[in-house]
Structure 1
Amino acid sequence: MHTKIVATLGPASIALDTMREMVRHGVRIFRLNFSHADAAYFEPIIKNIRSLESEFGIPLTALGDLCGPKTRIGEVADSPRSVNKGESLLLGLPDERPDPAHDDRVFVSLDMPELLAGLRVGMPVNLSDGLLQFRVTREVKADRLYAMEAQNAGLLSSNKGIAFPGKHHALPALTAKDVKDLHEGIDVGVDALAISFVQNAEDVAMTKEEIKKHGVWVPVVSKLERQNAVENLDAILKLTDAVMVARGDLGLECPIPELPILQKKIIRACRHAQRPVIVATQMLLSMVKNPIPTRAESTDVANAILDGADCVMLSEETAVGDHVVETVKVMRQISDNALKYYLERIPSPYAPKREKNPGKFVAYSACLIADNMEADAIVCHSVSGTNVRLTSSRRPRQSIYGVTPDSRVMHFLNFAWGVHPRLLEATSGDHMARVEAFVQNCPDIKPGDPVVITAGRPTPGNDMPGTNEIKIYYK
């Protein structure tokens, strides 16, 4: 299984038997949504994940998804109410509500001055998950009260999300709740943390500094939900450990017709930067209620895999859906079929760009050798996971066994395309000897089968050389 399945846990799927079936049919990463619960709620669920890990003998990753600064409007009078195209409404801080006797326009309150600061005439405003679109027509009181015109008709309800496409928001990446959930989540055993509404590399750095206070390393998944994040993608990729294309909120910030191409560009940039990328939101949404997906959904999942995504994610489908296990089965079947075509049409392995990056060229060379000798597996030893990610980014046809002495790195490698993470006991002796012992004991590799092994060995001139060895090994 090369493309990994991420499944969100919720009321429909937290039973141990249901989780077991999800693992049996391909789930390797469980998403824990801190928007709806806290660490205490997830603690017994993480214990079940560890129990299933032991039962199946494979790593399973618990991804804690932090809520972030979700922005919502306040109460709307006579909610829900119809809004007509061309109608003028007011948007402002709660204490700027006008007297209805002097101005009877619908007032939309937003108790977040940071979001209104810098709003100018002509800027777009989206409400109700993008179903209502507005444009600012007048600054009634700068940074506090604005008139806006509806670009389409629809229903306006209280407490709905609001978005300002393309506008930078002076909001921290982590709210007070996020900081609390981050530390408590690490305490109960989450293996990775996703941060919401990332805008720039500083948001990632802030999160990593907060994790460092806990005295551990935990990988960070940056959720791309804002136009600013797309514009700052190169800088974000230098710091983040992985990326999620969160198409729901991103689709509010970016024009929907541009979203498919944005997805492709983000996936490509992530592969070139050796950062695993998850494609998420509404992938098989109709299966919340229906036992089979729509044709469009099936094509959407396949296209994400053909674009080169490392992971595809299920949200409501497994959290609250009526067909949890069946949805996982369908996603696995789509993935298996798409993978065959993907490997037929891509140059395998991908050649690196002309750049000074010996590690990437070693990984590429290992993939070429594996192809030439018709090996079924590449085995990569890595303390940090870098060697494994480099090899994964070349998209070889062979299964990649990522062996590491670090349990946190092992769980992180579940995000990487084509990788089977395995924990290798850090005994004495060099890396190559330990990897050869792993091959000898691996039941998936048959006696007489050739494998390609990559590892690092210190030299007199460099005691931290990274990957500097390739070995052809017959079991």
Structure 2
Amino acid sequence: MRTKIIATIGPASNSRQKLSELIEAGVRIFRLNFSHGDATMFEGLIALIRELETEYETPITILQDLSGPKMRIGQLSEDSYTLKKHDRLVLGPSGSEHVRQLPFIPFDVPEIMETLEIGDKIVLADGVLPFRVTEKLDLGAFEIECRNDGFLTSRKGLALPGKPINLPAMTEKDQKDLRDGLRLGVDACALSFVQTAADIEVARKIILESGKNIPIIAKLERQNSVTNLEAILEVTDIIMVARGDLGVECPLPQLPAMQKRIIEACNRAGKPVIVATQMLLSMVNNPVPTRAETTDVANAVLDGTDCLMLSEETAMGNYPVQTVKYMTNIAQEAEKYYFEQERDMTPSKGQATPDFLAYSACLMAEKVEAKALVCHSNSGTSARLLSARRPNQLVHALTPNENVRRALNFSWGVVSDPIDKSIEAHLQRAETFVETSPEFHAGDRVVITAGQPKPGGQARGTNLVKIYHK
């Protein structure tokens, strides 16, 4: 299977047995959700994953997902409020409970309260309960009107669809969590509620100061992030279409087309993209998915996603391994159809020479019906560019760097392999790999890309594409 699966680890999957079963089912990326803990909670789990990585002799990627500035209401005075359409409530900071004799919703985020205006739309309870701001009150509070029937409980998320939020993507907790995660050896980090390219630079600085170089995933959860997608793509390594909060921020009917446009932009830029949230949510409690979920997963694959992410399904569901197996089968069937379609792999005008080298290699592999593409890639860039062209063949990426091998787990159709470091020339390393790998048989054609220096010189990146016959 070319599409990669990310599994979130939680109580349902944090044992050695379940992690082993998930690896055997095809998972190569494990997500640790720092919204529900800190480094001390995950230290033992990271050590266990590293043990299994050695046991299975395959690179396993540990993804640290930072919580970000999630906006939540406080503790309600009752267990829940039963609300009817047109009911009025007060939203305000602690201490403003008595400005009006109405049910009170505490919300202590002054940066947000200061931006509220009459007529603004507020959404609570993950999009279920929309409100409209009707009046500004004393002590920084506002009267709001409910627009639907529903129930409201404490600590629910709050969103302001379409309104810019003046909060940095990285909180103080996130910065500490990232430093702690880097110390423990995470392989990638995901930033929540990214809005601009500047949000990425804050994380990048922390990573470099720690002496590390791991990929950053920008989670698109706000309208601003979609508007600023091209600028964010310039500085981030990977994009996540985080459909939960994005579906609250944006009108739901727009979400499918928005997903397609984001994936298309990532494919064009040669950056891996992840589709997340409620992929197979019914399998938290059921051993089989719904037909709608099956179609949703398949459509994400057909759209061109690199990775599919499971959240509650593997973190707290009753069928974590079965869920991964179902997702694998759905993706494999979708990939068969994907290859039946006519696809244009040509780079767009203005793209750089490496993009055209990757295109040439994929075109050559298609024309000679090659068994695979093999690339020598110190940084992983060559493998990602080949992946972005979506060739029929698997891409075997040879790299001396274990961190690069783990990062390549995010790229569609890429299998990373270790190399014989005793061989100096990159091309010879690739040819030796083909000759010694049981994946290839006598007579197989393989297209190789590598950096071939001038005699006596040093390799300066990929500059060679070769058809190799075993």
TM-score (norm 1): 0.95
Task: Identify the residue that residue 107 of structure 2 maps to in structure 1.
Answer: 110
User: Where do 1:165-176 residues align within 5 Å?
Assistant: 165-176=161-172
Question: Displacement of 1:380 after TM fit?
Answer: 1.3
- The separation in 2 between residues aligned to 1:192 and 1:169, in whole angstroms, is 26
- The separation in 2 between residues aligned to 1:280 and 1:373, in whole angstroms, is 36
Question: Displacement of 1:161 after TM fit?
Answer: 0.8
* CA spacing shift, 1:173–1:464, aligned 2, 3 Å: farther
Question: Displacement of 1:459 after TM fit?
Answer: 4.8
User: Where do 1:388-427 residues align within 5 Å?
Assistant: 388-427=383-422
Whether 1:124 and 2:130 are equivalent positions in the alignment is: no
AA aligned opposite 2:373: I
* CA spacing shift, 1:462–1:353, aligned 2, 3 Å: farther
Task: Identify the residue that residue 224 of structure 1 maps to in structure 2.
Answer: 220
- The separation in 2 between residues aligned to 1:138 and 1:437, in whole angstroms, is 73
- The separation in 1 between residues aligned to 2:457 and 2:221, in whole angstroms, is 42
Whether 1:364 and 2:388 are equivalent positions in the alignment is: no
Residue by residue over 1:20-78, the C-alpha shift from the partner in whole angstroms, topping out at 9 and shown as x without a partner, is: 11111111111111122222332332233223323333211111111111111112232
Question: Displacement of 1:92 after TM fit?
Answer: 1.7
User: Where do 1:24-35 residues align within 5 Å?
Assistant: 24-35=24-35
Whether 1:277 and 2:260 are equivalent positions in the alignment is: no
**Given that residues 29 and 61 in structure 1 are in contact (C-alpha distance below 8 angstroms), is that contact kept between their aligned partners in structure 2?**
yes
Question: Displacement of 1:4 after TM fit?
Answer: 0.4
Give unpaired runs (5+ residues) of structure 2.
none
Percent of residue pairs identical: 51
Residue of structure 1 aligned with 2:309, choices 306, 313, 322: 313
Deviates more, 1:430-439 or 1:239-248: 430-439
Task: Identify the residue that residue 377 of structure 1 maps to in structure 2.
Answer: 372
Task: Identify the residue that residue 196 of structure 1 maps to in structure 2.
Answer: 192
- The separation in 1 between residues aligned to 2:186 and 2:436, in whole angstroms, is 29
Whether 1:446 and 2:433 are equivalent positions in the alignment is: no
- The separation in 1 between residues aligned to 2:413 and 2:297, in whole angstroms, is 17
Residue by residue over 1:204-249, the C-alpha shift from the partner in whole angstroms, topping out at 9 and shown as x without a partner, is: 1111011111011011111111111111111111111101111111
- The separation in 2 between residues aligned to 1:367 and 1:112, in whole angstroms, is 51
Residue by residue over 1:315-364, the C-alpha shift from the partner in whole angstroms, topping out at 9 and shown as x without a partner, is: 111111111111111111101111100111141x6111122411111101
Task: Identify the residue that residue 289 of structure 2 maps to in structure 1.
Answer: 293
User: Where do 1:59-78 residues align within 5 Å?
Assistant: 59-78=59-78
Whether 1:255 and 2:251 are equivalent positions in the alignment is: yes
Task: Identify the residue that residue 36 of structure 1 maps to in structure 2.
Answer: 36
- The separation in 2 between residues aligned to 1:274 and 1:189, in whole angstroms, is 26
- The separation in 2 between residues aligned to 1:208 and 1:432, in whole angstroms, is 33
**Given that residues 53 and 59 in structure 2 are in contact (C-alpha distance below 8 angstroms), is that contact kept between their aligned partners in structure 1?**
yes
Task: Identify the residue that residue 147 of structure 1 maps to in structure 2.
Answer: 143
AA aligned opposite 2:83: V
SS at match of 2:19: helix
Question: Displacement of 1:428 after TM fit?
Answer: 5.6
SS at match of 2:395: strand
Residue by residue over 1:384-417, the C-alpha shift from the partner in whole angstroms, topping out at 9 and shown as x without a partner, is: 2111111101000000011112211111110000
Give unpaired runs (5+ residues) of structure 1.
none
SS at match of 1:286: helix
**Given that residues 173 and 207 in structure 1 are in contact (C-alpha distance below 8 angstroms), is that contact kept between their aligned partners in structure 2?**
no
- The separation in 2 between residues aligned to 1:77 and 1:39, in whole angstroms, is 33
AA aligned opposite 1:450: R
Moved over 3 A (4+): 425-428, 458-465
SS at match of 2:28: strand
* CA spacing shift, 1:151–1:443, aligned 2, 3 Å: same
Question: Displacement of 1:163 after TM fit?
Answer: 0.7
- The separation in 2 between residues aligned to 1:438 and 1:48, in whole angstroms, is 30
Whether 1:324 and 2:311 are equivalent positions in the alignment is: no
Residue of structure 2 aligned with 1:455, choices 443, 447, 450: 450
**Given that residues 126 and 132 in structure 1 are in contact (C-alpha distance below 8 angstroms), is that contact kept between their aligned partners in structure 2?**
yes
**Given that residues 73 and 159 in structure 1 are in contact (C-alpha distance below 8 angstroms), is that contact kept between their aligned partners in structure 2?**
yes
- The separation in 2 between residues aligned to 1:445 and 1:148, in whole angstroms, is 66
- The separation in 2 between residues aligned to 1:448 and 1:460, in whole angstroms, is 30
AA aligned opposite 1:304: A
AA aligned opposite 1:339: E
Question: Displacement of 1:181 after TM fit?
Answer: 1.4
Deviates more, 1:388-397 or 1:422-431: 422-431
Question: Displacement of 1:79 after TM fit?
Answer: 3.3
* CA spacing shift, 1:129–1:469, aligned 2, 3 Å: same
**Given that residues 85 and 151 in structure 1 are in contact (C-alpha distance below 8 angstroms), is that contact kept between their aligned partners in structure 2?**
yes
AA aligned opposite 1:254: C
Whether 1:14 and 2:11 are equivalent positions in the alignment is: no
AA aligned opposite 2:119: G
Question: Displacement of 1:463 after TM fit?
Answer: 6.1
TM-score (norm 2): 0.96
**Given that residues 59 and 402 in structure 2 are in contact (C-alpha distance below 8 angstroms), is that contact kept between their aligned partners in structure 1?**
no
Residue by residue over 1:93-143, the C-alpha shift from the partner in whole angstroms, topping out at 9 and shown as x without a partner, is: 2233334xxx2222222111011222222221100111100122223359x
AA aligned opposite 2:115: G
AA aligned opposite 1:137: T
- The separation in 2 between residues aligned to 1:457 and 1:138, in whole angstroms, is 69
- The separation in 2 between residues aligned to 1:235 and 1:464, in whole angstroms, is 31
Deviates more, 1:233-242 or 1:28-37: 28-37
How many residues align? The count is 470
Residue by residue over 1:168-201, the C-alpha shift from the partner in whole angstroms, topping out at 9 and shown as x without a partner, is: 2222222222112111111222111111111111
Question: Displacement of 1:85 after TM fit?
Answer: 1.0
Task: Identify the residue that residue 469 of structure 1 maps to in structure 2.
Answer: 464
Q: What is the CA RMSD across the aligned residues, in angstroms?
A: 1.8
- The separation in 2 between residues aligned to 1:225 and 1:60, in whole angstroms, is 26
Residue of structure 1 aligned with 2:347, choices 342, 347, 352: 352
User: Where do 1:81-120 residues align within 5 Å?
Assistant: 81-99=81-99, 103-120=100-117
Deviates more, 1:34-43 or 1:306-315: 34-43
